[in-house]
Amino acid sequence: MTIARVGFVGLGIMGEAMARNLLMAGFELTIWNRTQARCDALLGEGARKAPSPAAVAAASEVTVSCVTDSPDVREVALGPGGVIEGAAPGTSYVDCSTISPSAAREVAAALSVRGVGMLDAPVSGGDVGARAGTLAIMAGGPDDVFQRCLPVLQAMGETIVRVGEAGAGQVVKLCNQVAAGLNLLAMAEAISLARRAGVDPAKMIEVVGAGAAGSWMLSNLGPRALGDDFAPGFMVELMQKDLRLVLESASETHTPLPGTALVHEIFRLIEARGRGREGTQSIVDALRILAGDR
């Protein structure tokens, strides 16, 4: 069955760009956001606005959401005026937020009772990947729902993998955040050492980024940090939320994650200075503070 009508709930830094790519792919798009002004740009580009997530779902064959945390997903999916109240049996719900695996399973089970299939499909790639439509998408849920929703996912991402049943997408996203956090710390430490040893950190990034120690963080966020550009592609406070979920999962599974715990604590230094809404590249400044250079 060809999907024509798609809904989108949550138009933040990531969500607006993802929704725009759905429009550009030719889907009929219905949108909702808690702050209605966030809808204006997409309405000017051809999207339609609905008064609630339930109304979005009622107008859509596949409804996508991208919101902040587990309580937000529960609210837009299962709360009053939520997706569950408008989605027809046989339609699908795809949540691209980063939430706890248990919350994803809870929402999937509730929707399944109504005949609505769900994928927990968190994304990685930041604002750059969201705009370019090159996100990595890790999906958990039934294979038939995944296959049905694949054209929608392909409009937003480039690497799209079904990683297991309900909740598995969130587990893989937490693994992604472990690697992301440690790469951020590696970037910050490399820049800190170069600076304090009297070497141009931009030159260091140029050559190290081209070798075996290179990373997306080093090549993309390193130069921004060097220019004191801390505008968020992904905010510190959201990274901290994700790392909290990681450490909760680690506790539940008795998994030692000492590096991740350290990254979480270092970001507390940025938050303590009122900079939680800056981009995660501000971890470079945390190392400068620790070194006495700020």
Domain limit, last residue, from 165, 198, 223:
165
The closest alpha carbon to 88, from 119, 47, 50, 55, belongs to 55
Structure-block tokens of residue 266: 């270092």
Please tell me the total count of domains within the chain: 2
Q: For 28, phi and psi rounded to 5 degrees? A: -75, 120
Domain limit, last residue, from 130, 165, 200:
165
Q: What is the pLDDT of residues 126-169, one digit of tens each?
A: 888 999 999 999 999 999 999 999 999 999 999 999 999 999 99
Same domain, 138 and 212: no
Helices within the chain (DSSP H only): 13-24, 40-44, 53-58, 70-78, 83-86, 101-113, 126-132, 143-154, 168-196, 201-208, 216, 222-226, 236-253, 258-272, 283-290
Same domain, 115 and 152: yes
pLDDT at residue 294, rounded to an integer: 81
Same domain, 29 and 129: yes
Lookup result for tokens 């079904």 = 162
Of 49, 173, 203, 241, the active-site residue reads: 173
**Is the confidence at residue 1, as pLDDT, over 80?**
no
Structure-block tokens of residue 92: 């699908």
Structure-block tokens of residue 110: 């509730």
Domain carrying residue 191:
171-290
**Is the confidence at residue 6, as pLDDT, over 80?**
yes
**89: Cβ–Cβ under 8 A, 6 or more apart, which residues?**
114, 115, 116
| Pair 204, 191: CB distance under 8 Å | yes
Q: What is the pLDDT of residues 260-293, one digit of tens each?
A: 999 999 999 999 999 999 999 999 999 999 999 8
**Is the confidence at residue 105, as pLDDT, over 80?**
yes
Mean pLDDT value across the chain: 97
Same domain, 88 and 213: no
What's the chain's Rg over C-alpha atoms?
20
pLDDT at residue 103, rounded to an integer: 96
Q: Which amino acid would we find at residue 36? A: Q
Same domain, 157 and 175: no
Q: Nearest-5° angle of CA 38, CA 39, CA 45?
A: 130
241 is catalytic: no
Distance, CA of 13 to CA of 140 (rounded, Å):
23
Same domain, 138 and 178: no
Same domain, 199 and 286: yes
